[in-house]
Structure 1
Amino acid sequence: MAERTALVEQRRPQRQDPERPGPAGLPLGLLRTARPRQWVKNVLVVAAPAAAGELFSRAAAVQLALVFGLFTAAAAAVYLINDARDVAADRAHPTKCRRPVASGQVPVPVAYAVGGLLGVLAPLAAAALCTPMTAVLLTAYLGMQLAYCVSLKHVLVVDLVVVTTGFLMRAVIGGVALGIPLSRWFLITTGFGALFMVSAKRYSESVTVDEQRTGATRALLTEYTAGYLRFVWQLAAGVAVLAYCLWAMESGGVADAALLPWRQLSMVAFILAVLRYAVFADRGSAGEPEDVVLRDRPLALIGLVWLSLYGLAVADL
């Protein structure tokens, strides 16, 4: 009986005790918890100024760099508090257990304290260094994301709306900081483009969970059906493409100084980018959008072509 008990104990997975952070381990763990790979999302703060051709002054560049930093700090605050709240569930997850808070590299009280400090300082700095509306938007973003961490991520459809709105607010805040009027087509394209990527991510996660037949820490994945999420990302992709085409055609014909209708030609690159990303969404491999965007060379090339065409349109060349 003793030998049998010992054999069972050997087969049972051993629970690892949380790591004790060293002097250099804590700052590194805090940086990892801030998700540096996710910072690429905050580049959206330049979307509105780029669309309006307002990127070429020193004042605009300084202001946008400041807004980027403040939004990154606000997002880091949300990540820290979220990981502190979800520490028990993350420790039971096969991959999230390696996160600094779940592994013990960053103690839970420290995560709460640093997250709370960043959450307070970011809006205050925005109020002092940017426009009042920028501070209001940043505060609204923090409030919405913290509500998401606490309860909204458990509400069907609302969770998709909140994450999508977070992307849209990134795009809006750059225009607000520089006092740039925002086109209705810009807002629709950005909003539904974000919904396309968010729902494609959820779809990929749902497919992965179904294939593995395992539980997921994101409980809503068991309530969404793969068919519904596929419908959402397909609908969002269609609306985003339509809105972009209407936006590109809104300016009418070719400007007097332009050689070709660059804005209208950019529609081809935009549609190709959506179609290329949809390949990964359909395969269920768009669970990490930043990996798709940064690692797929054809998609990167299409993106560069789109940037070139739109840049020529803004410059009226």
Structure 2
Amino acid sequence: MDVEDQQLRPRAVHTAFTGNVAADLPRVTGGAPARPARRTAGTVLAGLGRTMRPRQWVKNLLVFAAPLASGTVVRPDVLAATLLAFALFCVAASGLYLLNDVRDVDADRRHPRKRTRPVASGAVPVRVALVAGGVLLAASLGTAAVLARPALTAVLATYVCISLAYSLALKDQPVIDLACVASGFVLRGVAGGAAAGVALSQWFILVAAFGALFMVAGKRYAELLALGEQAETRRSLREYSASYLRFVWSLSAAVTCTTYGLWAFEMRSDSGIPWTTISVAPFVLALLRYAVDVDRGSTGAPEEVVLRDRGLLLLGAVWAVTVALGVWTG
């Protein structure tokens, strides 16, 4: 007996005693989930917190990439601007997650894992999630307009517009959905440069773009394997095959490694140890290590893979140290 059956059966027994079959029938036969036994202000707030997905905020650390690569992050003004960019993206992303869960509520209720999400399960009312999402988006854009550089405000607004378009329609379009999700990572990297007033290398943008595409293709591959015949819960998955997604992540991984090498050689110092060139080794090894999880189909939640894989974390630390040495000694 699954979770939904456990929720529905008590109401079915109840109708046998009350005779109010017409009122309770929709909850027994499908559609909306049974109302939670207790919905208090505390449980709704906790559900909103879960729907905002704070664990996903780790993605927003990408705003620090450009200031770190340029060596300007230690300047107080640059650090403050980058922290503001990080906070704005966290608030905006949380608002988008709330609105996305409202948009996908019916599909999530048919999904074996997503049906336990607070909005899909009924722990958070749809109207509450909708209002909260709108408030968070307005707060992030309004704060950016007042406190941030115009360039950062423009990048954040672009991120919000693309994300909303993705949630409303583009997520059902094959290939376009991959590009939309990958653009979110790229815009985070661009936002760091915009916040700090740092010019971005063309190689930096390409590494971010194709590295993101690599991760997104791996995520879709994991979803395809996990759902199997139930892949219709996401329309775009109907158009993908395992071999096609393997092709996408292989191609994107190759371009990522190539463009990173070009960036590393561009940043190489003519004197001393070429640390940025050396950083190519841990970077490629980390990519290959992550590809092991991609091939297993266990990258449905990339941030969880990164945080729990100690070998990947070690390679990432070595890469970060070599890049830092290249920046500070170059």
Under a length normalisation based on structure 1, what TM-score does the superposition of the two structures give?
0.91
Check the 8 A contact 1:43/1:68 in 2, yes or no.
yes
Q: Could you say which residue in structure 2 is the equivalent of 1:157?
A: 175
Deviations 1:281-312 (A, max 9, x none): 11211111111111001000000000010010
Q: Could you say which residue in structure 1 is the equivalent of 2:264?
A: 248
Residue among 266, 278, 284 paired with 1:265: 278
Q: Could you say which residue in structure 2 is the equivalent of 1:3?
A: none
Tell me how far apart the structure 2 counterparts of residues 253 and 69 of structure 1 sit (CA, whole Å): 34
Q: Could you say which residue in structure 1 is the equivalent of 2:103?
A: 85
Tell me how far apart the structure 1 counterparts of residues 115 and 226 of structure 2 sit (CA, whole Å): 18
Pair 1:220 & 2:233 matched: no
Shift of 1:207: 2.2
Shift of 1:14: 7.9
Q: Could you say which residue in structure 1 is the equivalent of 2:293?
A: 280
Q: Could you say which residue in structure 1 is the equivalent of 2:213?
A: 195
Check the 8 A contact 1:148/1:162 in 2, yes or no.
yes
Tell me how far apart the structure 1 counterparts of residues 188 and 268 of structure 2 sit (CA, whole Å): 28
**1:24 aligned counterpart, secondary structure:** helix
Task: Give the root-mean-square deviation of aligned CA atoms.
Answer: 1.8
Check the 8 A contact 2:67/2:192 in 1, yes or no.
yes
Q: Which has the higher helix share?
A: 2
| Structure 1: segments with no counterpart, 5+ residues | 1-5
Tell me how far apart the structure 2 counterparts of residues 233 and 215 of structure 1 sit (CA, whole Å): 20
Q: How does 1:1-317 map to 2 (within 5 A)?
A: 16-19=33-36, 20-210=38-228, 213-255=229-271, 258=272, 260-316=273-329
**1:279 aligned counterpart, secondary structure:** helix
Tell me how far apart the structure 2 counterparts of residues 40 and 286 of structure 1 sit (CA, whole Å): 15
Tell me how far apart the structure 2 counterparts of residues 92 and 158 of structure 1 sit (CA, whole Å): 24
Shift of 1:29: 1.1
> How many residues are aligned here?
303
Shift of 1:47: 0.7
Tell me how far apart the structure 2 counterparts of residues 106 and 223 of structure 1 sit (CA, whole Å): 32
Shift of 1:124: 1.2
Shift of 1:92: 2.1
Tell me how far apart the structure 2 counterparts of residues 215 and 315 of structure 1 sit (CA, whole Å): 48
Under a length normalisation based on structure 2, what TM-score does the superposition of the two structures give?
0.88
Check the 8 A contact 2:268/2:274 in 1, yes or no.
no
